[in-house]
Amino acid sequence: MTFNPVPPPPPPHVDHLPAVAKKSRKWPWVLGIVGAFVLGGAAGYGGTPEPEIVTKEVEVEPADIDERRSVLDEREDDLDQRSSELDERSSDLEGREEELQTLASELDERDEALTATEQEIEENTIPGSGIYLIGEDIKPGTYRSDGSRCYWARLSGTSGEFEHIIANDNVEGTAYVTIAESDVAFETSRCGEWKLQ
């Protein structure tokens, strides 16, 4: 098979056109179809029976209605009573909430006062045996102790030398000592707590 690059020649030219065919008449057919539809619709509409409306009357006994109304009235009364009770409870709860807030505020004030008192007691108490620096560990002033076989000493220094003892004592029972601002330290042994007077 050989390939020919030249296209084939065009078909011969015809000078005359073919004759136009006559139109057939379609309108009688269209009229016939439309008429058939109209007749069919009329026949279908005329052949369907009209629906029959049925009304049925039912008697309700008045006693039954009265009984239901009575039950509804009772329920409404119950709901009103419960609503009233809930309103009372709500008022009570609001009152209690206010009381609790007042109590909480009072407790906060007491706690602050108690904390201040505890701090003051702690600052004005010599807790037990030991050597305490005046102005740093304890305040100057008059102290009381209820210990037994108690030894105490006011000191002008902390070297442990006898010459630093300003005053001292061995006490049975209640003891009092006045610590001056000029004292350097205070020594206590077996005295228990000393409380600032």
Mean pLDDT in residue range 179-190:
97
Give the start-to-end residue ranges of the domains of the chain.
62-126, 127-196
Q: Is the pTM of this model over 0.85?
A: no
- The label of the residue with tokens 């056109």 reads 17
Which one has a higher pLDDT value, 101 or 41? 101
Count of all residues that appear for the chain in the document: 197
Question: Which amino acid is located at 187 in the chain?
Answer: E
Structural tokens at position 115: 């904390």
Mean pLDDT in residue range 48-63:
74
Mean pLDDT in residue range 52-71:
80
Per-residue pLDDT, 139? 96
Structural tokens at position 79: 């709901």
130 bridge partner residues: 188
Question: Which amino acid is located at 177 in the chain?
Answer: V
Mean pLDDT in residue range 160-183:
96
Residue 142 confidence (pLDDT) above 80: yes
Structural tokens at position 44: 């279908």
Say whether 31 sits in a helix, a strand or coil.
helix
In this structure, the dihedral spanned by the alpha carbons of residues 82, 88, 91 and 96, taken in order and rounded to 10 degrees, is -110
Residue 46 confidence (pLDDT) above 80: no
Q: Give the confidence band of 58 by pLDDT, cuts at 50, 70, 90.
A: confident
Those residues whose C-beta lies under 8 Å from the C-beta of residue 153, and which sit 6 or more positions away, are: 165, 166, 167, 168, 186, 187
pLDDT in tens, 110-135: 888 888 888 888 889 999 999 999 99
Residue 174 confidence (pLDDT) above 90: yes
